[in-house]
Amino acid sequence: MGLLTRIAKRIVDWLEIGDSATEERPPVPTPSLRQEKVIPFTLDEEQKTQLEHFDNYVANMPLHYIGSKEKSVVKQRWAALYRATNSKHIARTYELYDQIRQFLGNYQHLDDLIASSNKEFIRNEIHRCEALLSDIDGKSLDEQQRTVVVTDDDRNLAIAGAGCGKTLTIAAKVKYLCDMKDVAPEDILLIAFTRKSAQEMTERIHGKLGLPVQATTFHKLGLDIIAKAEGKRPDVLDDLQEFVSDYFEKEIVNDQKTAQRLLTFFAYYIHTPADMDNFTSLGAAYAYEKAADMETLRSRYAQAQYVKTAASERGAERQTLKNERVKSLEEVQIANFLFLHGVNYEYERQYPFETGDEQHRSYHPDFYLPDYDIYIEHFGVNRDGKLPWLSPIEEKKYIEGMVWKRSVHKEHGTTLLETYSYLSSEGTLLTTLKELLLKNGVVFHQPDFMDIFNSVYETQSNKYFSEFIKLCCSFITLYKPADTARRI
């Protein structure tokens, strides 16, 4: 057998083996779609009853106005039925299939369904009450007023300007409730903000419409409730300023922490320094601050101590009292900061070295701290080192003065700390001053705040606290308790 013959026979053998192996393999099943077993869903008797009640409720919706509270109750009442039916496969052959699908659609769009129903109710109710709404004290209500009258939500807000007929609408609402809703007049609470408005509504409703409804004010309502609960009417404070002043005298003077807070307020915030960048001229800024008191707190305290000293003692000691006033509200803040932190200072003390010449007078730095041999200068410049509220000539002169003062301290080796007006505008004047002082070794000592408070208040209550008392009275008068937690 030739070589080619042997190779051909071998190939035939391989093919026969392959065919045999293929025939012996089990057939591969043809893939088919997965068949899921459907378990029919049916409602139990209780669910069928709920479904029927919901259909009846929807059918009767337009017969009354559905308020916010009722809407929440409706959602809660049928929530379990919605959860039970929404996630189930319901066979089309089921007898309640269409009814369930309609329930699911209505429940999912319940807000829109109720809004549409309320509109239909308003239209029908206005038509039903046409005679009443067309004759309220001889006047006919317009469409908006009629809608306000028949709308019966839990809370209704009607916004209207002057002369839009608010009183007429309220009178119509009262008559609608009494005549069409069978509400007893004594069950209606009608409140106005002012006594005049209350009287006007009472005259129109009681006098002209013949309904025994008395309008009242919030204050009178409160008095009536207290009187009914306690058997007598309470006394009403008429003099608010006297009450606040009495509170200061009897309560705050015995509270160390409150006294400290008040002193801090008086020292830094009772008068706000002018933001020079907001003024086009020095005159405008001066007019802003000229009415402010530039006397320092230390001076006020010293005066109080001076008054306490017996006349004979003052005469024997030849004691004098210097009325310390500074040149700006920013300097008042600096002086008061030093005083309330127990730092001894001298205002505009003459510099110990001779500085006067043909161009300069004797130098008097703003503040001197004798215990630390430190000087403080407060420069009235903005963050750019400029004074745009001055004329170009005056601005140049002021800046040259700053340079000269710095050179004087450098020449004589004295310590100069600087503060600037822009720090006050940015609200960082006192914090910057505190950092500068601490950095240069100044030690703070807490004074007796109660002694300072009592001394100043005892002799200068009318002068020093009158503006603050007026501020407190204004706040109490304008105070609105609603939403206090969010505002404060």
More confident residue, 42 or 403: 403
pLDDT at 23: 46
37: pLDDT strictly greater than 80: no
* Mean pLDDT value of segment 398-404: 93
Return d(Cα 114, Cα 120) in angstroms, integer. Answer: 10
Of 275, 290, 288, 282, residue with least CA distance to 382:
275
Find all residues with CB under 8 Å of 334, minimum gap 6, and list them. Answer: 366, 367, 376, 378, 419, 429, 433
* Mean pLDDT value of segment 349-359: 85
- 10 — pLDDT class (breaks 50, 70, 90): low
* Mean pLDDT value of segment 11-35: 45
Helix (H, G, I), strand (E, B) or coil at 461: helix
Return d(Cα 76, Cα 54) in angstroms, integer. Answer: 12
The mean pLDDT of the chain is 80
pLDDT at 280: 56
Write out the two tokens for 118: 């309320």
282: pLDDT strictly greater than 80: no
CA atoms 224, 225, 231, 237: torsion sign: negative
pLDDT at 72: 92
Burial code (b: 16+ CB inside 10 Å, e: under 16) for 113-145 equals bbeebbeebbeebbeebeebbeebeeeebeeeb
Find all residues with CB under 8 Å of 176, minimum gap 6, and list them. Answer: 129, 132, 133, 149, 150
283: pLDDT strictly greater than 80: no
275: pLDDT strictly greater than 80: no
Range in 121-125, 265-269, 328-332 the model is least confident about = 265-269
* Mean pLDDT value of segment 195-215: 88
What is the number of alpha carbons within 13 Å of residue 50 lying toward its C-beta?
21
pLDDT > 70 fraction of the chain, expressed in percent and rounded = 77
More confident residue, 66 or 10: 66
Residue with tokens 């010293």: 302
Find all residues with CB under 8 Å of 422, minimum gap 6, and list them. Answer: 277, 381, 382, 383
pLDDT at 156: 87
- 398 — pLDDT class (breaks 50, 70, 90): very high
Burial code (b: 16+ CB inside 10 Å, e: under 16) for 46-71 equals ebeebbeebeeebeebbeebbbeeeb
pTM for the structure as a whole = 0.49
